């Protein structure tokens, strides 16, 4: 099953539970627009490289479209379509006035200098600028992009359209970014997990946690969980994982990784593979790396009590069914990792108002949004007697569908 088929599987499962007609499902599943651009760039060695840039705009029914830009060799139309689709349901679930979009450039940033990255970014936006804008489509950081890339995008777009900080979110604080944006996805994971565990009368304190992926989302989630008293048993990055039955010293490990070291270089802990990490016993397993980490081949070996999807699509449909039969609840990605787009919405709002909110205010608003979304999903799950994922899609599809009908098809 392809990554797009996986997303559509969950969509159709929820739509069928709602008795939506075939033609309505087709209309809501198909993207609004697919944009492919050529990006010829002179590299620093003098060679002309031609990259491909993509932007898939999925659904504009509830507002301007919103979604990240990733720079990765696997970026293509299918991946962007799948992720744009998820963004539509994610923003609707959090009741944010956006539709979904996703895009990026098919390139390998590990083989590029910062200057080459800037050239690629500026050329990409110069070719794309007619299709994005503060009230059209608002990009954000994703895999291998960061606040610096967002700053280049804002600058390039503003050269053509005038001062436009709201064209992109995830910007540096000194260039009209928002307090709390860097930690937002990881913090949102913790907020919604806290509500989730409360239903099982479990506190975060002393909960054993395994985090697969120690990038932005995984590291912030681990840090905030550690500060809340949770015991982080294992973490991993591209080089592998480390494990300690007594719990890891997350602040020290954060300092180590911020200095540019991989976890494989860390001493004093047991070293394990990413595959081994996923099947260790724990209360809470948080896949926070790339998608499809938990699949039909390893789902039967999962020993976690609960799974929280901090990454996009980390559990395949086949694995989802196995976990459901085994009684392992999964907190779905369109809810669990929605903290990033929520604070992106706050940043966009601040840019339009030309006013800055405090970090405490941002975190308080985020906590309320995540709690309300979880409570809504929980109620729908009980009403329809379906898993949380199906319930989340039912809420989202209902909101997008109602906006579509009210606007006129």
**Active site positions, annotated:** 102
Give residues with Cβ within 8 angstroms of 298, minimum separation 6: 275, 278, 279, 319
Give the phi and the psi of residue 408 in degrees, each rounded to 5. 100, 125
Whether 393 contacts 10, CB under 8 Å? yes
The answer to whether residues 277 and 210 touch, using CB atoms and an 8 Å cutoff, is: yes
Q: Which of 396, 397, 384 shows the shortest CA–CA distance to 335?
A: 396
Max Cα-Cα span within the chain: 62
* Residue 234 falls in which region: left (phi positive, over 0), alpha (psi -120 to 50) or beta: beta
**How many of the other CB atoms lie within 10 Å of CB of 130?**
11
Of 64, 62, 61, 67, the residue nearest 87 (C-alpha)? 67
Beta-carbon contacts of residue 15 (< 8 Å; ≥ 6 apart): 24, 25, 28, 393, 397
Task: Please name which of 138, 90, 125 lies closest in space to residue 342, comparing C-alpha atoms.
Answer: 90
Query: CA–CA separation, 142 vs 294, rounded Å?
Result: 21
| Closest to 67 measured CA to CA, from 40, 43, 37, 32 | 32
């Amino acid at each position: 099953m392809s990554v797009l088929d996986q997303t559509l599987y969950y969509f159709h499962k929820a739509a069928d539970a709602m008795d939506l007609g075939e033609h309505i499902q087709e209309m809501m599943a198909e993207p609004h627009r697919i944009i492919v651009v050529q990006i010829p760039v002179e590299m620093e060695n003098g060679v002309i490289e031609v990259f491909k840039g993509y932007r898939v705009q999925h659904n504009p029914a509830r507002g301007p479209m919103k979604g990240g830009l990733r720079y990765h060799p696997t970026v293509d139309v299918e991946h962007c379509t799948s992720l744009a689709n998820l963004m539509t349901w994610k923003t609707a679930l959090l009741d944010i006035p956006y539709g979904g979009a996703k895009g990026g450039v098919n390139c390998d940033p590990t083989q590029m200098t910062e200057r080459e990255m800037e050239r690629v970014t500026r050329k990409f936006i110069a070719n794309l600028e007619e299709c994005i804008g503060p009230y059209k489509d608002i990009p954000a950081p994703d895999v291998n992009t960061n606040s610096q890339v967002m700053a280049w995008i804002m600058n390039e777009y503003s050269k053509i359209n005038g001062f436009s900080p709201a064209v992109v979110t995830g910007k540096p604080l000194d260039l009209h970014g928002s307090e709390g944006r860097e930690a937002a996805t990881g913090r949102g994971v913790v907020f919604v997990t806290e509500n989730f565990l409360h239903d099982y009368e479990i506190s975060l304190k002393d909960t054993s946690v395994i985090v697969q992926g120690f990038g932005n989302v995984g590291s912030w989630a681990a840090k905030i969980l550690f500060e809340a008293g949770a015991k982080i048993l294992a973490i991993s990055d591209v080089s592998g994982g480390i494990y300690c039955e007594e719990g890891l010293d997350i602040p020290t490990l954060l300092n180590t990784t911020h200095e540019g070291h991989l976890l494989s270089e860390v001493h004093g802990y047991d070293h394990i593979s990413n595959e081994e990490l996923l099947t260790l016993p724990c209360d809470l397993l948080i896949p926070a790396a790339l998608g499809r980490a938990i699949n039909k081949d390893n789902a039967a070996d999962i020993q976690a009590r609960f799974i929280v999807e901090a990454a996009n699509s980390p559990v395949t449909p086949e694995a989802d069914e196995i976990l459901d039969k085994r009684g392992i609840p999964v907190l779905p990605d369109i809810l669990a990792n929605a903290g990033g787009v929520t604070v992106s919405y706050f940043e966009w709002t601040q840019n339009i108002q030309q006013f800055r909110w405090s970090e405490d205010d941002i975190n308080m608003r985020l906590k309320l949004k995540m709690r309300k979304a979880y409570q809504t999903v929980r109620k729908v799950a009980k009403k329809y007697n379906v898993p949380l994922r199906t319930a989340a899609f039912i809420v989202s599809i209902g909101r997008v569908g109602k906006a579509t009908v009210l606007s006129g098809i």
